[in-house]
Amino acid sequence: MAKNGGNRPAECTENIEDRYNRCGFLNTIEHIDIYGRMKKSYTEKRWNLSHPECVSAISCCSSKFKEQNNDIKVAEKLSTFSITTKCCGLYPGNDILSKKTKKKQQKCINNQTMSCDETEESKSDDVFEKLVAPQAAPRKYEIIHSNLLTFSYGHLAALYGTYLCVTVASWKTLLFHFIIFVLAAIGVTAGAHRLWTHRAYKAKLPLQIILMLMNTLAFQNTVIDWVKKHRLHHRYSDTDADPHNATRGFFYSHVGWLLVKRHEEVRRREKLIDMSDIYDNPVLTFQKKYAVPFIGTLTFVLPTLIPMYFFGETFWTAWHLTVLRYILNLNGTFLVNSAAHMFGNKPYEEHIKPSQNLFVSFVSFGEGFHNYHHVFPWDYRTAELGNNYLNLTTKFIDFFAWLGWAYDRKTIPDDLIRSRSKRTGDGTNSWGFSKTE
């Protein structure tokens, strides 16, 4: 072995930039920030991860990083996306070699003894301690007082809005808000959830715009924020890295997680979530860029003004019914995070918390078949019973597929569903009854 500052295989002593120049490939990209603003367009050179020399270079660097940072706390501080990010500046989709990055790379290669035995790129999670569900380590809750006041007012106003529904509100106003409730709910389920989080089907631009507008009616933050949290939830379900960890109880997973500061594991591991497809979507970056005026107008201003001017409602009544509709939409989604992780049967995987909950499926338009969804998250139906009367979201997607605006709907073969159910399920069927077969 060649020696250069330590005992290392010869391939690890070569200048990493020279190797990069041999096995990289050119890729022209446009850099857009999280608010959708164009920063610059340039041509970069990316690592060809299938090229053996690049794999060797990356594994050398990541090996060195792990050897230098056995203390997990030190490693966490040094890493943003993966072991190779800070050490070598290399990770798929964002591996631009700046002067600063090159210096870090060369320092990583030259300074210490390292092993080149690894042949695979380091996984993003390697730098963190493995989390096993269910998990809820003791923690100190830091209340976000502004959120506490906002949610308290919202639910009290919704209660008063319920009273106004049965005393003074006109049937036209009630019908109007019911329609908005349905549109907003489907904007979350068919849009933020099934289309953009799980990519369970594809949508043409007109449908994407419609779904973005419908999602805006629901005001559950922007789609970009929603997708990041939900992908994190699926990756670390019911652990401390799950934003609404159901292991901490019904209230926490329902709404409590929004009233306190995020767990440290959530803050660290959300940086590992790949959001490149979302940031590249101009419909979603538009919503993010104009979030405050856009959401405020569609969620609260117009739903209040329209009943006043067209149905003769007072501001007092119109406003409180708007808040009531909004709170009902929120709690429909919240129940998926709480009740559907606690109550129900588990016909597909009995060793996880997500369950089949018919009530949640009813109020969330098909999202309560949650045991199935966590086993097969890429199925656009989110349920084996995709076309039943509880799954309005699936019917919505199927309608637009008939129009030609939705396509590439992903489903799971029946034989695979039955095989998984027999192997890991709890012995019940999708409706919660004992198996008859």
3-state secondary structure of 434: strand
- Residue with the larger pLDDT of the pair 117 and 30: 30
Residue 435 confidence (pLDDT) above 80 = no
The pLDDT score that the predictor gives to residue 124 is: 52
Residue 9 confidence (pLDDT) above 70 = no
Instruction: Compute how many other C-beta atoms are within 10 angstroms of the C-beta atom of residue 159.
Output: 13
189 and 364 Cβ atoms separated by less than 8 Å: yes
What gap in Å lies between CA 104 and CA 88, rounded to an integer?
Answer: 6
Q: Which residues have a Cβ under 8 Å from the Cβ of 319 and sit 6 or more positions away? A: 157, 304
Chain segment 109-150, per-residue pLDDT in tens: 344 333 222 222 333 555 556 666 566 777 889 999 999 999
Mean pLDDT of all residues in 349-367: 92
User: Does the predicted model carry a pTM greater than 0.75?
Assistant: no
The pLDDT score that the predictor gives to residue 257 is: 96
Residue 11 pLDDT class (50, 70, 90 cuts): very low
Nearest to 337 by CA among 312, 308, 370, 365: 370
| 3-state SS track over 178-231 | HHHHHHHHHHHHHHHHHHHHCCCCEECHHHHHHHHHHHHHHCCCCHHHHHHHHH
β strands within 33-145, DSSP E: 38-47
Most confident of 4-13, 38-47, 123-132: 123-132
Residue 5 confidence (pLDDT) above 70 = no
Helix (H) or strand (E) holding 102: helix 99-110
Please state, for a pLDDT cut of 90, what percent of the chain lies above it.
55
What gap in Å lies between CA 357 and CA 250, rounded to an integer?
Answer: 14
13 and 114 Cβ atoms separated by less than 8 Å: no
Q: Which residues have a Cβ under 8 Å from the Cβ of 318 and sit 6 or more positions away? A: 173, 303, 304, 305, 307, 308
The pLDDT score that the predictor gives to residue 130 is: 66
Determine whether 417 is exposed, middle or buried from the number of CB atoms within 10 Å of its CB (0-12, 13-18, 19+): buried
DSSP class per residue in 160-182: HHHHHHTTT--HHHHHHHHHHHH
The pLDDT score that the predictor gives to residue 46 is: 45
